[in-house]
Amino acid sequence: MLNEGLPSQRAALPETAFGDDPLLWLQQETQLGDGSIGLRATTHPEEIVITGIPVMCAQCGARRDWMVICDRNEISVRCRCAHQWVERELTRVDYEAMIDVGGQDYPSLEAAAQAAGYDGTLAGIYLV
């Protein structure tokens, strides 16, 4: 027989790191929590700098105190004046780096904005 004297098991290949496998990265990127919640939001009191440029609200000029919204893979930034826009340069990985342990899930964007004070009622106010 040809198999005589040959090892019966193949050498184990080293495991691929999460960041090295684009399929694993894509799978993780498209899943949010347990899959039942499509919207997450968190507040971010500091400036957000993207490619060296600080984010600024086009409507009121604010430069900090944001609500960052993750709707599956789309990241939006919302100002206290209720102006909201999609930030294409931010990914879900960036969002997850911003959230705290006490991150909050919301059933809708309106509920998230109202609960966190980003529905326009606190326009022009910076909270400490």
Q: What is the DSSP letter of 82?
A: S
Q: How far apart are the first and last CA of the chain?
A: 78
Q: pTM of this prediction?
A: 0.63
Average pLDDT taken over every residue of the chain: 74
Domain that residue 112 falls in:
36-116
- Is residue 21 one of the residues assigned to a domain? no
Give which of 107, 119, 40, 108 is closest to 83, Cα–Cα: 119
Look at the chain and report how many structural domains it folds into: 1
Whether 84 maps to a domain, the answer reads: yes
Q: Is 89 a domain residue? A: yes
pLDDT at 43 exceeding the cut of 60: yes
Residue 7: inside a domain:
no
| pLDDT tens-digit readout, 88-120 | 999 888 888 887 655 566 677 888 788 888 888
Is residue 128 pLDDT above 60, yes or no? no
Which of left, alpha, beta for 117 (phi over 0: left; psi -120 to 50: alpha)? left
Contact status, residue 116 vs residue 109, Cβ threshold 8 Å = no
